[in-house]
A and B are shown apart, each in its own frame.
Chain A
Amino acid sequence: MTNVMIVEDQSMPRQLFELFVNSSPDYHLMYSIGNAAMAEIYCMNNRIDLILMDVCTAMGESGLTAAEVIKRKYPQIRIIIVTSMPECSFIDRARAAGVESFWYKELSRESILEVMDRTMAGEHVYPDELPHLMIGEADSSEFTGRELEVLRELTSGDPDETIAARLHMSVWTVRSHIRHMLEKTGFESRTKLAVTAREKGFVMHDY
Chain B
Amino acid sequence: MIPFSELSAYGKLLVGILFLVVVCFELHYLTHAVYLRMHSGRVLLMACSFSAGFLLLTMLMEEFELNFRNTAIRNAVLWVKGLPLLLILAAIAASAALTAEMYVSLSRFRAAQISGESVKEAMDNLPTGICFSLRNGMPLLVNRRMSRIARACTGDDIRNGDLFWQALTKGEVGREVTVLQRGDHPMLKFADGRVFAFQRTAVDAAGKTVLEITAADSTEPFQLSIRLNEENRALEAMNRRLRQYSRNVTALVRDQEILDARVCIHDNMGQALLMAKYALSDENADISQDTLLSIWKENVSLLRKERTGGPEEDVFRQFCDAAASVGVHIRLQGELPLQNSDAMRLFVAAGRECLTNAVRHAGADELTVASERNGELYRICFANNGTAPQGTIREGGGLSSLRRRISRAGGTMQVQSEPSFLLTVCIPAVDLPGDQEETP
Residues of chain A having any CB pair with chain B under 8 Å: 9-13, 15-16, 19, 22-23, 31, 33-35, 37-38, 40-42, 44-46, 56, 58-61, 84-85, 105-106, 155-159, 191, 194-195, 198-199, 201, 205-206
A195 to B301, CA, bound (A): 38
- Whether B258 contacts A13 by the Cβ 8 Å rule is yes
CB neighbours of B321 from chain A (8 A): 33, 38
CB neighbours of B315 from chain A (8 A): 35, 58-59
> Can you offer 8 A-B residue contacts whose CB atoms are under 8 A?
A10-B254, A16-B302, A35-B318, A41-B326, A46-B326, A56-B250, A58-B313, A84-B257
Which B residues, 313 to 346, have Cβ-Cβ distances below 8 Å to chain A? 313, 315, 318-319, 321-323, 325-327, 340, 344-345
B306 an interface residue at 8 Å Cβ cutoff?
Answer: yes
Q: How many residues of B contact A (CB 8 A)?
A: 51
- Whether B242 contacts A194 by the Cβ 8 Å rule is yes
Within 8 Å by CB of B318, from A34, A84, A191, lies A34
A169 to B238, CA, bound (A): 23
Within 8 Å by CB of B302, from A19, A159, A205, lies A19
A46 to B235, CA, bound (A): 49
Query: Are A33 and B310 also in contact (CB < 8 A) when A44-B356, A59-B345, A155-B246 are?
Result: no
B260 an interface residue at 8 Å Cβ cutoff?
Answer: yes
Question: At the interface with chain A, which of B116-124, B149-157, B195-203, B347-355?
Answer: B347-355
Query: Are A198 and B313 also in contact (CB < 8 A) when A11-B305, A41-B325, A158-B239 are?
Result: no
CB neighbours of B310 from chain A (8 A): 11
Within 8 Å by CB of B327, from A12, A45, A201, lies A45
- Whether B240 contacts A84 by the Cβ 8 Å rule is no
B36 an interface residue at 8 Å Cβ cutoff?
Answer: no
- Whether A85 contacts B253 by the Cβ 8 Å rule is yes
B264 an interface residue at 8 Å Cβ cutoff?
Answer: yes
Within 8 Å by CB of A42, from B253, B322, B344, lies B322
CB proximity of B317 to chain A, nearest CB, Å: 10
**Interface residues as binary, B196-236 with A (CB distance below 8 Å gives 1, 0 otherwise):** 00000000000000000000000000000000000010011
A181 to B242, CA, bound (A): 18
B170 an interface residue at 8 Å Cβ cutoff?
Answer: no
- Whether B356 contacts A41 by the Cβ 8 Å rule is yes
Within 8 Å by CB of B345, from A33, A38, A60, A105, lies A60
A151 to B114, CA, bound (A): 62
CB neighbours of A11 from chain B (8 A): 305, 309-310
Determine the residue in chain A with the shortest Cβ distance to B259: A12
Within 8 Å by CB of B245, from A46, A58, A195, lies A195
Q: Which of B242, B260, B349 has the most chain A CB atoms closer than 10 A to its own CB?
A: B242
A155 to B253, CA, bound (A): 16
CB proximity of A63 to chain B, nearest CB, Å: 13
Within 8 Å by CB of B322, from A38, A61, A191, lies A38
B256 an interface residue at 8 Å Cβ cutoff?
Answer: yes
B298 an interface residue at 8 Å Cβ cutoff?
Answer: yes
B249 an interface residue at 8 Å Cβ cutoff?
Answer: yes
B360 an interface residue at 8 Å Cβ cutoff?
Answer: yes
CB proximity of B67 to chain A, nearest CB, Å: 94
- Whether A19 contacts B235 by the Cβ 8 Å rule is no
CB neighbours of A23 from chain B (8 A): 298
- Whether A46 contacts B325 by the Cβ 8 Å rule is yes
- Whether B246 contacts A42 by the Cβ 8 Å rule is no
Query: Are A31 and B246 also in contact (CB < 8 A) when A40-B356, A41-B356, A59-B345 are?
Result: no
A158 to B232, CA, bound (A): 12
Query: Are A156 and B243 also in contact (CB < 8 A) when A10-B258, A106-B260 are?
Result: yes
Query: Are A31 and B238 also in contact (CB < 8 A) when A12-B258, A58-B315 are?
Result: no
CB proximity of B253 to chain A, nearest CB, Å: 6
- Whether A38 contacts B239 by the Cβ 8 Å rule is no
CB neighbours of B309 from chain A (8 A): 11
A19 to B271, CA, bound (A): 15
B82 an interface residue at 8 Å Cβ cutoff?
Answer: no
B262 an interface residue at 8 Å Cβ cutoff?
Answer: yes
Determine the residue in chain B with the shortest Cβ distance to A23: B298
B89 an interface residue at 8 Å Cβ cutoff?
Answer: no
B273 an interface residue at 8 Å Cβ cutoff?
Answer: no
A16 to B267, CA, bound (A): 12
- Whether B258 contacts A157 by the Cβ 8 Å rule is no
- Whether B352 contacts A157 by the Cβ 8 Å rule is no
Determine the residue in chain B with the shortest Cβ distance to A191: B238
**8 closest Cβ pairs, A-B complex:** A157-B239, A12-B261, A11-B310, A41-B322, A157-B242, A38-B322, A157-B243, A45-B326
Given contact pairs A34-B318, A35-B315, A157-B241, enumerate 7 new A-B contacts (beta carbons under 8 Å).
A13-B261, A38-B322, A42-B325, A105-B257, A155-B242, A194-B242, A201-B249
